[in-house]
């Protein structure tokens, strides 16, 4: 069966350091992978999308890598700030089709806490 695994333990880091979150998957052939942020009591918010033919994607302090051989994505937040504290979710299209359109499968998320 298809599985998406993210670190279940919370990640605690000091402000200014780089946070690295991991997403591993099995039995998927994804055309792309997405990362979302979720704050307590709120809905998830889209952050970044990386396609299968892209090794790395950046957006401001965020960087995502995608290794389809290892079946893994890494999500980095550089120069982390307390405001980055949230749960981060990785998501894949179960059909592996960029135009399937209907929904994504989500990992359970990793909680990040950045302390001053």
Partner 1 sequence: NAGVTQTPKFQVLKTGQSMTLQCAQDMNHEYMSWYRQDPGMGLRLIHYSVGAGITDQGEVPNGYNVSRSTTEDFPLRLLSAAPSQTSVYFCASRTRLSGNTIYFGEGSWLTVV
Question: Contact positions toward partner 1, by CB under 8 A?
Answer: 32, 34, 36, 41-46, 49, 89, 91, 93, 98-99, 101-109
User: How far apart are alpha carbons 75 and 11 in whole angstroms?
Assistant: 13
Indicate the residue among 80 and 91 with the shorter CB distance to partner 1: 91
Give the separation between CA 41 and CA 106, rounded to whole angstroms.
Answer: 18
Which is nearer to partner 1, 98 or 115 (by Cβ)? 98
Q: Which residue matches tokens 């209907």?
A: 102
- Min dist. Cβ of residue 78 to partner 1 (A): 23
Contacts of 96 (CB under 8 A, 6+ apart): 28, 29, 30, 31
**Shortest Cβ distance from residue 86 to partner 1 (Å)?**
14
Cβ distance to partner 1 smaller for residue 4 or 80: 4
Q: Is 85 left (phi over 0), alpha (psi -120 to 50) or beta?
A: beta
Cβ-count burial of 72 within 10 angstroms (0-12 exposed, 13-18 middle, 19+ buried)?
A: middle
Residue 45 CB, shortest distance to partner 1, in Å, is: 7
Q: Which is nearer to partner 1, 79 or 103 (CB)?
A: 103
Minimal distance in Å, beta carbon 26 to partner 1? 15
């Amino acid at each position: 069966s298809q599985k998406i695994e993210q670190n279940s333990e919370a990640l605690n880091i000091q402000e200014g350091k780089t946070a690295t979150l991991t997403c591993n998957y099995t039995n998927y052939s994804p055309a792309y992978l997405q990362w979302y942020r979720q704050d307590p009591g709120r809905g998830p918010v889209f952050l970044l999308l990386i396609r299968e033919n892209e090794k790395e994607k950046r957006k401001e302090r965020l960087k995502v890598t995608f290794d389809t051989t290892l079946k893994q994505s890494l999500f980095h937040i550089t120069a982390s700030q307390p405001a980055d504290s949230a749960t981060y979710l990785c998501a894949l299209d179960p059909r592996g089709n960029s135009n399937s359109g209907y929904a994504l499968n989500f990992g359970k998320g990793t909680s990040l806490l950045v302390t001053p």
